[in-house]
């Protein structure tokens, strides 16, 4: 089994086919989207392929180390992650092809008008072994 991250983006990915921002959806459209996500996760949990998933709140802050005995730095010329990352799902599957299949299915979550979003998801494998120094 190999773990993969399915990363949902607000921006930074190619534009989705049904590209209506969630803050413009009706409450029923939002409920249908969340229901789809929950049912997808439940099905993967039953098959043993689900690890975790989280939706992220729109609030966020960039933080970095400010130096010994100094407060952290909390600003910078960075894009806000709240504008970039909507949430994620972690799956544990037998093959890369299965990870692709599930990412494609997750991309079909309903959005505005109840139609599939066709959003782009970033599929990234977990790093399993660090560099050995022999490469």
48-104 residue pLDDT tens: 999 999 988 777 777 778 788 877 776 655 555 555 677 899 999 999 999 999 999
Higher pLDDT, 25 or 134: 25
- Quote the CA–CA distance of 82 and 9 in Å, as a whole number: 9
- Quote the CA–CA distance of 100 and 6 in Å, as a whole number: 10
What are the extents of the domains in the chain?
Answer: 1-16+30-56+84-129
The 3-state DSSP class for residue 127 equals coil
* Superfamily of segment(s) 1-16+30-56+84-129: Dimeric alpha+beta barrel (3.30.70.1060)
């Amino acid at each position: 089994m190999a773990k993969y991250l399915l990363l949902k983006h607000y921006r930074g990915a190619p534009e989705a086919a049904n590209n209506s921002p969630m803050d413009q959806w009706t409450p029923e459209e939002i409920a249908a989207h969340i229901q789809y996500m929950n049912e997808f996760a439940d099905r993967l949990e039953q098959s043993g392929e689900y690890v975790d998933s989280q939706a992220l709140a729109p609030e966020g802050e960039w933080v970095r180390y400010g130096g010994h005995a100094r407060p952290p730095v909390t600003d910078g010329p960075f894009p806000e992650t709240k504008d970039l990352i909507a949430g994620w799902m972690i799956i544990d599957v037998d093959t890369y092809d299965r990870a692709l299949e599930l990412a494609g299915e997750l991309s079909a979550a309903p959005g505005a008008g109840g139609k599939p979003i066709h959003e782009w998801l970033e599929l990234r494998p977990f790093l399993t072994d660090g560099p050995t120094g022999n490469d």
